[in-house]
A = this chain, B = another copy of it.
Amino acid sequence: MSDLRVGVLGCGRIGRMHADLLANRVDGLAVAAVFDVAPDAAAAVSDRLDVRRADTPEALIQGDDVDVVAVCSSTDTHIDLLVATADAGKPVFIEKPLSLDLAEVDRGIRAVDAAGVPVQVGFNRRFDPSHRSVRQRVLDGDVGDVHLCRITSRDPAPPPITYIEVSGGIFNDMTIHDFDMARFVTGSEVVDVFAHGAVLVDDAIGAAGDFDTIVVTMRHENGAITTIDNSRQAVYGYDQRVEVFGSGGVAMSDNPLTTTTVYRNADGGRQSTVPYFFLDRYVPSYIAEWEAFRDMVRTGSPSPVSMADGRAPLALGMAASLSAREGRIVLISEVG
């Protein structure tokens, strides 16, 4: 069976990473063409991987050499490119967040439904082997009825203020992964959200209108309660842990360490560091999400991360922002 040929829209950090993984690490997929609004960025990738550089998104999407499209461009272009690809009848892999505007997302959903093309949203952490095995324990019934879910996500260092000014805020650029994880591992929709936001890391983040430290609690339809905490700065590295507790037991994913070595002397034991950031931790999950995409396209199986899965965390982010601002519980039904 020949490789599926992927056209990659957007050659920023995440687009470049996907192009490299597709070229070198994922069986059954190959990069065919790339596009970026900055021609130099696209040229760097097309030269390195020896693939076509398209002059316009349309030239990529419509290309006979492109079977499927990866939308890795800036967030505000996501839905237009999704719709164009769906209209062209080609399967789509699309990065999160889908959009910061739910009406836009709904336009995308309508286009995808009309075209009947398979779509997968890029929530890669669902494919991390450790978080995935937590989900599997729930699916297998080992956790029983889910009562509590705890998610920790802490970045090693804050992004530039220029990023924070356009990201949509911590709930949309960082917690969004945890909102998705909560739905994924509990298997239950969220009913309401309560959030605390604080500025403890850097006053400049507060001056830009954002928080750098947040705690969110959410109630699910099945009665379970999820707690999420985020920080823009964990000096010890990229801290990513998920725990699901229920009537049958508890399943917990922990951080891997960079080595398994322990050193002991009279002062106690020393372990290695945790991975520094998402590329150090999550490359296997990116590879696995592409393998899942490939299988979805080939077999016609349901999307492992559907448009609805892409939409729900956006509504949760809005609810969390509103809650933190107004200091009250916000029902999801209020926002979307």
Contact = CB atoms under 8 A, between A and B. Distances in A.
A63 interface: no
A133 interface: yes
A251 to B, nearest CB: 5
A144 B236 CA distance: 12
Contacts of A237: 264, 266
A130 B231 contact: no
B264 A249 contact: yes
Given A133-B272, A266-B236, A266-B273, A213 B148 contact: yes
Contacts of A235: 144, 247-249, 265-266
A239 interface: yes
A250 B225 contact: no
A55 to B, nearest CB: 27
Given A215-B217, A229-B150, A235-B248, A267 B260 contact: no
Q: Which of A150, A198, A245 has the most CB of B within 10 A?
A: A245
A7 B201 CA distance: 51
A269 interface: yes
Interface in A244-275: 245, 247-274
B259 A148 contact: no
Interface of A: 23-25, 129-130, 132-134, 137, 142, 144-145, 147-148, 150, 152, 154, 194, 196, 198, 200-201, 213, 215, 217, 219, 223-225, 227, 229, 231, 233-237, 239, 245, 247-274, 327-329
Q: A-B pairs with the 3 shortest C-beta distances?
A: A269-B271, A249-B265, A24-B24
